[in-house]
Each structure stands twice: as structure tokens, then as C-alpha cells.
Amino acid sequence: MDSEKMEMQKDSNEKRKKSGLGRGILFGIVGTLIAGSLLIGGVCNATGIQIRLTRANRGQGILDAKAQAKLNELLAYINAYYYDETEEEALREGLYTGLVDSLGDVYSQYYNAEDYAQSQVGVTGQYYGIGAGLSQDADTMMVSITKVYDGTPSQKAGLMVDDIVLSVDGTEASSMEVTELVKLIRGEEGTTVHLEIYRASTEQQLSFDVERANVTLPSIASEMLDDNIGYLRIEAFEKETAAQFETAFADLEAAGMQSLIIDLRYNGGGLIDSAIKILDDILPEGLIVYTEDKAGNRMEYKSRGETYIDYPIAVLVNENTASASEIFAGAIKDYNYGTIIGVTTYGKGIVQTLFPLSDGDAVKLTTAKYFTPNGNYIHGVGIEPDIELEYEYLNSDSEEYEMQYDNQIQKAIEVLRNRE
């Protein structure tokens, strides 16, 4: 996993062929399960929430006298007969988790304070760590560095791509899942983490003491292709993604861009505001998306039309293009503002809102449905591409991913050339 974005990789060579630019396609799989399902709404004010909760609890009677008595009876049996020691805090968290789980909604979730803090990395792209991407071999559990981000502590310390992580502060790296190893690498700003590294290129075992810092990971990757075709990959819709998009877009335009590929493959979603800001840069004036809650209240998000793109666009999607990225693709399709290429998207048409609790914990709840500009509700359905094309890597002999062998990117290039 991306150590600081959790990017799993079972077979490094094969996945590189599928990854493209940035953190790679496999991060998107994790994004679908984590980042994409984390938040497509916002964080609500806790004080206002408390008022509504107090009113809502009147008459519900979930914790009435009968329920309290049964709970006490269960605890009595646990205390008397459970074979091992128990922790009261863990039991309480089990109650909270069970309450939310009973909704039967995979996207609603209770977070303790630690999990809440971890979840925000997927939304903000910010954390206190070293700025290196990690992957783990599923068979050997070996952990290696797949990315060293510019200007981060890992780069300053001299860590390199393909370095093998042997241990973190004395804990053997292969002894745990990389998600747990990431927690050891992250920590308070200004503190250090000790890494033992094996560098195959020099056959050396090296030691590094890396100082943790406040790191913001890029969620945008871009480059200029032949024929003045810009390529822009959006990894996830995070807090800084819109600003990163505008910077990358301006650089491409300055280089003479005349058409654009936007790659949303394996983009699991994220913040709706981020997707809307980017669409506001792209689309003419009009409705981008609207939501409806259980009371029928409708909220509309619109493009102001102050800026828009007036040259050909192709958008790449796949079965793990989800949530906010489906809002993006749906708006492009409904406006007939670009060609959607790939396979039908994931189909997540519901909105989550994150509510911080008074004690530092949080709960994420599904709060509304969303609809594309033409009123399409895509939950469980997805968005069909204009050009159906399964992904195929066209050079099985290549050890590293090269864009020229990505059949979906090559189809997008063909489409844009024909429309110029």
C-alpha cells in the first residue's frame, strides 16, 4: 500500500503495467473501498447535530428499561464466564459499531478517534509522515518503496524507489499487513522513525532516521502527449485536488494543449466539492449534480460558466470509477461535453456525511441520493461509456508500465485526433 496513501501491490511487475501515472491503478482499488466510500458530502457542525440527536431520540426507546436490563444481563455473563480478560472501552466501542452496522449500509461507519484521524488522510491527502509509497508482496509479505514524493522527508533522507523495508523502529516489516506498518511510520510532526532498508542495486543494508513532517500528497498527475494532447490523471478528489488540477491544467495549456484526456480509472471518489470545482472550470453554466435526502429536500450544485473548455475531451473510466468520479463522468456525459471511454462505472449514487462527535470520535452516515444533470440515479447501475473498451496492456514483455501500450489511452488519443 501507499505508505502514505495505502497502495497495495501483489505482483509489482504486473501491476506496474496496469498502473499508469501517479500512484497507480491499484491504489484506485483501495480508493474504491476506502476513499471512495469515505465521504461525498461534508463534515457537519457538532453542536447542531447534538440538538437534532436529542430531539430524534425522544420516543425511539432503543435504550429503554428492557434493553438496559438485557444489556446488563449480557455483560454479567461476559464478566462471569468469558475465558479472557475484557476491556470496558472495547466493549463500548463494540456497542457503537454494532449500532451503526445494524443499518445494513456498508457506507455508514462508526470511527473511534484514531480511526477518524486515519480516515481523513483519504479525504485531505494530508498526514504526518515521510512521504513514501509502499507496496507489499501478498506471498512473501516483503515491503518495498514504490514512490518517493518530491520535497518530502523520504526524499531528503535519501530513500529510493525499490528499496526494501526490513524494519520500522525495530518491528520487522514483513511481520504485519502494510496497513498496520503505515501506522508505525506515521506519527507526530518533528519526531523520527528508524528504518532498516535493503538496497538491491548496491546490495547494501542501510539505516535511516527520517523526521516526520506534515505531508500533502499529490492527487493529480499530468503530461503532454504528442499532437498537443494533454493527459491529466485524477487519483482521488481530495481537499487540494481542485487547486492541483488548475495548476496542472494551466501548465498544459501553456505548453500548447489543444485537446485533453482526463483519466478517472480507479478513482474511488472523495469530496463532492472538489469534483464540482473542477467541473466548474470545465463546463458551461448549468446544473452539475443534485442531491435529495429522505425528506425530499433537494440541493443543487451548478457550474457558473465563468470558465469552460472549448476543445475535445476524452474521459477514461472503469468498473472502479466510483462516487465523486461518477458525478464527474455523469456531468460530462449529460452535457455531451466529451467522450467517455472504458467500461461501465462502479455505480455509487449515494452521499455520505461525516459527523464529528463531542468526544473526538465520529460517525459517517449515508444521508442522500445524488442525480446527474439529466436526473439519472446511477446507484447500482453505473455510467455506461460512449465507447465500450476493456482494458488491455498491449506489450506483455514490458516490465514497466508505458502509456503507449495502454489500449484505453490509445483509443482516447485516436478519438481526439479524429475530432480536431
Cell 452535457 belongs to which residue?
335
Given 3-state DSSP classes, what are the helix, strand and coil percentages for the chain, each rounded to the nearest 5?
Answer: 35, 25, 40
Residue 348 annotated as catalytic: yes
Distance set, CA 195 to CA 137, 142, 192, 209, 306 (Å):
19, 14, 10, 6, 50
Instruction: Please state at what angle helix 12-19 crosses helix 25-33, rounded to 10 degrees.
Output: 90
In a 10 Å sphere around its CB, with 0-12 CB exposed, 13-18 middle and 19+ buried, how is residue 399 labelled? exposed
Residue 277 annotated as catalytic: no
* Active-site position among 17, 348, 364, 406: 348
Which is it for strands 339-342 and 387-388: parallel, antiparallel or unpaired? parallel
Look up residue 347 and give its three cell numbers. 455505480
Alpha-carbon span 88 to 79, nearest angstrom: 10
Residue type for position 341: I
* Active-site position among 135, 334, 364, 406: 334
In a 10 Å sphere around its CB, with 0-12 CB exposed, 13-18 middle and 19+ buried, how is residue 89 labelled? exposed
* C-alpha closest to that of 170 among 143, 145, 193: 193
In a 10 Å sphere around its CB, with 0-12 CB exposed, 13-18 middle and 19+ buried, how is residue 284 labelled? middle
Alpha-carbon span 300 to 207, nearest angstrom: 54
The DSSP code for 273 is H
Residue 334 annotated as catalytic: yes
DSSP string, 90-142: HHHHHHHHHHHHTT--TT-EEE-HHHHHHHHHHHH-EEEE--EEEEE-TTT--
> Which residues pair with residue 210 across a beta bridge?
193
Contacts by 329-334 with C-beta closer than 8 Å and gap 24+?
329/264, 329/383, 330/289, 330/372, 330/373, 330/376, 330/378, 330/383, 331/279, 331/283, 331/288, 331/289, 331/372, 331/373, 332/279, 332/282, 332/283, 333/372, 333/383, 333/386, 334/372, 334/373, 334/374, 334/376
* Active-site position among 19, 108, 119, 323: 323
List the catalytic residues: 323, 334, 348
